[in-house]
Structure 1
Amino acid sequence: MNQTHTWKQKVKMMLHILLPIFITQVAMQFMVFFDTVMSGNFNKENLAGVAIGASLWTPVYTGVSGIFLGVTPIVAQALGARKKDRIASSVIQSGYLAVAFGFVLILAGAFAIEPILQAMSLEPDVAEVATHYLHYLGIGVVPVLIYTVLRASIDGLGQTRVTMFITLLSFPINVLLNYMLIFGKFGFPALGGAGSGLATSITYIIIMLIAIWFMKQNDGMRELGMLSMFEKINWLTWKEVLRIGTPIGLSIFFEVSIFAIVTLLMSNYDTITIASHQAAMNFASLLYMLPLSVAMSLTILVGFEVGAKRYEDAKQYARLGIGSAIGLSALCAVLLFLFSSDVAALYNPEPEVRALTQTFLFYAIFFQLSDAIAAPIQGTLRGYKDVNAVFIIAFISYWVIGLPTGYALAEFTDLDAYGYWIGLIVGLAFGAVGLFARLAVIERKAKQGTLKEA
């Protein structure tokens, strides 16, 4: 990355960082998309089973992996401050921490999965698919957390095209493995929706190995000393990663888990409702990749400028990112309104599932506007290493406002399942307002020279 002096240069630099991240995020989300679509085309019980399994796994995975996204601002600020000697050690120590977290997750899952599923009112076939899906995902826990560290490090250095190519290489492999393991092709057993869990784990292993190979072979990475030697555990580095990463992980967990909790609460409805909700939520998550990619770009760009103490440049990048996200998300909302029936048809051919999915998709339109504001501001604040406020706002907006509102509307009005979606929309809107107010405070402190260095 380089310093920019004009708006034109900033647009060019942002596109250089953003486009590979967007392609990467879409490709990764397409893996989940194909898991859901291909499982749904096996039958609706497998679609519902994958929905329940993913609802348990996704918040845990995103929350824990979110901790290691803290590596991105650490690396970006070190690069901006010309402290390159700190980068390699931060990466290797974060890798050790990722392995430790991975084994804890595997151990916790071994004891918790079956009791949790038994406590839910699931049809036996759905519960069986969810159980096997989660067990297969356990194989890839450690590899995906290690990859998250490597990816966050590469992105923090501004080399987002690298992670894009890694993901694009692995994407067709994941789809092929889904085809083989879900439907039992080329001599493999037909595992149904559970096979998508195994396919995902194998893909995690592949992308981890490719990232390690890149870091060992790239001249720039070797110059920084990336993965060149083993170190003793450095508790101070672990503390720094956890101090920055834990609020990031918790804020992501609170955001993602509320969607998972809503899906789990919907287990009280019939299989058609569960399947339709999951299909609509899956597509809404795909659209979310746009503002999320802008957010990840802003973490890198703002972190680089803050590390160099160029606060006005950081503010300009923030405005550029927020404006872009709002415009593009509004366009996506219009397209979703026009083509919701076609989107619904992708997930399941049964008329009842298709009709209900289309209705849920109309609610997803309102997600776009709040996400277009909230996500880029989150990314900007992380670039400043201002992570605690994001965590508090996420907790209040999703768990204190969003979930109770949705529960009340679903249980005590005629809205039923739609009430949960309205509650989510209310929570997202509150979060967007709170984050905007926090950004104003941080930028004012930066202008006044009273911003504390994290």
Structure 2
Amino acid sequence: MQSTTTIRGKLRQFAVILIPILVTQLALSAITFFDTNMSGKFSSVDLAGVAIATSIWVPVQTGLSGILMGITPIVSQLVGGRQENKVAYQVNQALWLSVLLAVIVLAAGYAVVPSILGAMSLEPEVRQVAAGFLAAISAGIIPLFAYTVLRCFIDALGQTKMSMVITLITLPINVGLNALFIYGFWGFPRLGGAGAGVASAITYWAVLLIAILTIHKVHPFAGYGIFRGMSRISFSAWKGHLKIGLPIGLSIFLETSVFAAVTLLMSGFDTATIAAHQAALNFASTLYMLPLSICMSLTILVGFEVGSGRLKDAWQYAKLGIGTAIILSLMTAVILLVAGRQVAGLYSNEPAVISLIQQFLLYAIFFQISDAIATPTQGALRGYKDVNVAFVLALVSFWVIGLPVGYVLANYTDWQAFGYWIGLITGLAAGAALMLRRLVNIQRRFTKQQEPLGSPVSS
């Protein structure tokens, strides 16, 4: 990664960082997509079961992975400030932290998940599929969290192509394992939706092993000596990681958990509605990879420029990223308008479910436009190490505005299940406006005060 002085140079650098991240995120999203898609083709009961299971699993997984993503601005600012000798120590500490978080999730999951599923008004078959999926995927939690740290290290160096290659290698592994364990091809057990959890767990172990070998053997990662003598656990280092990563993780958890809460609240609707909601949400989540990839790119680029003291360049990258996201969101809106029924057909063979999915997808258009502003803005703020206010804004936008509005519309108007989506769109739009205002204020404060390099902004 290198500094640039012209807009053309920044566009080139932005593309070099963004495109591999986008491919990587789409590939990672494709794992969930194929879990949902292939389970739906097995039966609507399995699709609903996987929907319930992922609504419990995804907020936990993304929230805690978000905590570990705090290593990205740490490494990018160290590299920008020419302090490469401190990188291995920080990555080691993040790896230890990832193991601790994984153990906590496993213990909590086995303690509370049966009670959560038992308290829901689910058909017995749907509950059985959800329980099987969660039990199976739990075997992959430790490697998934550890890989998150290693991937953030790779990306923070600007080597996003390598993350792309690693993820693309594992995608066909996941699809093949899905075929074996969902449908029972070649004599394997025919597990239905639960088989998707088995396939994902094995895939997470594969991606971790590939990442370890790459970082240990391939230039420039090998030069950092990440695995040449692991540092002992340092609680003071963990405190530094959590100071940045915890607000990031909580912000992500608040956003993903509100969607999960909606899915759980919709358990009172019929199986077809639950399945259609989850299918539409799954496709919207796939489209979300566009602004999310821009978000991750801005964290790297803005963090590098802030670490180097080039605040004007950091601001130019922020504007470039947000503008690109808005353009892409308008393009995805056209896709949903023109090809909504074809997209719905990817998830089910049942006409009633396809029709419901198509209706839900119309609301996803408004998701994309708000996400195009809110998500890249969050990425830029993380590059400045400004993370606490984003957490508060996420709390207000989704849980104070979005979910209550959705609950009222779903239960006290004729909108029914669609009311939840209207509420979420309302919260997301409010969050986008508040995030953008925060970014403008932070840039002005940095420019005025010229704070020491690597110092987080006070909230």
For 2:267 and 2:55, locate their aligned partners in 1 and report how far apart those are by CA, in whole Å.
11
Residue 264 (structure 1) aligns with: 264
Per the TM alignment, residue 235 of structure 1 is displaced from its structure 2 partner at its CA by 1.4
Q: Secondary structure of the residue that 1:4 maps to in structure 2?
A: coil
Residue 251 (structure 1) aligns with: 251
Q: Within 5 Å, which residues of 2 pair with 1:231-250?
A: 231-250=231-250
Equivalences for 1:4-23 in 2 at 5 Å? 4-23=4-23
Query: Which residue number corresponds to residue 324 of structure 2?
Result: 324
Q: Per-residue deviation at 1:113?
A: 1.1
Q: Which residue identity does 2:85 align to in structure 1? A: D
Q: CA-to-partner distance for each residue in 1:193-233, whole Å, 9 max, x for gaps? A: 00000100000000001010011102322222222112211
Q: Which whole-Å deviations, capped at 9, do the CAs of 1:78-133 have from their partners, x for residues lacking one?
A: 00011111110000110001001111111111111111000000000000000000
Aligned twin of 2:160: 160
Residue ranges of structure 2 left out of the alignment (5+ in a row): none
Q: Quick one: which amino acid aligns to residue 266 of structure 1?
A: M
Compute the RMSD of aligned alpha carbons.
0.7
Instruction: Give 1:151's aligned residue.
Output: 151
Letter in 1 for 2:331: L
Local SS of the residue matching 1:299 = helix
TM-score, scaled relative to structure 1: 0.99
Q: Distance in 2 between matches of 1:391 and 1:165?
A: 32
Deviation at 1:265, TM superposition (A): 0.4
Give the aligned partner of residue 184 of structure 2.
184
- Counterpart amino acid of residue 43 in structure 1: S
Residues 281-320 of structure 1 aligned to structure 2 (within 5 Å):
281-320=281-320
1:162-195: per-residue Cα shift (whole Å, max 9, x none)? 1100000000000000001000001101000000
Match of 1:381 in 2: 381
Amino acid aligned to 2:376: P
> 1:206 aligned to 2:199?
no
- Name the structure 2 match of 1:391: 391
In structure 1, stretches of 5+ residues that fail to align are: none
Q: State yes or no: 1:225 paired with 2:225.
A: yes
CA deviation profile, 1:319-377 (whole Å, cap 9, x unmatched): 10000000011111111111000000110011100000000000001101000000110
CA distance in 2 between counterparts of 1:153 and 1:241 reads 13
1:423 paired residue number: 423
- Partner amino acid for 2:194? A
Aligned partners of 1:287 and 1:373: how far apart in 2? Answer: 14
TM-score (norm 2): 0.98
Q: CA deviation at 1:447?
A: 1.5
Task: Name the % identity.
Answer: 53
Deviation of residue 413 (structure 1)?
0.7
Q: Which runs of 4+ in 1 moved over 6 A?
A: none
- Which residue matches 1:39? 39
Structure 1 residue 237: Cα displacement: 1.1
Whole-Å separation in 2 of the counterparts to 1:190 and 1:101? 32
Displacement, 1:451? 4.2
Partner in structure 1 of residue 335 of structure 2: 335
Distance 1:364 1:333 in 2: 8
Amino acid at match of 2:218: N
- In the alignment, the residues of structure 1 paired with residue 129 and residue 451 of structure 2 have an alpha-carbon distance, to the nearest angstrom, of 51
* Shift in Å, 1:46: 0.1
State how 1:2-151 maps to structure 2 within 5 Å: 2-151=2-151
Aligned to 1:353: 353
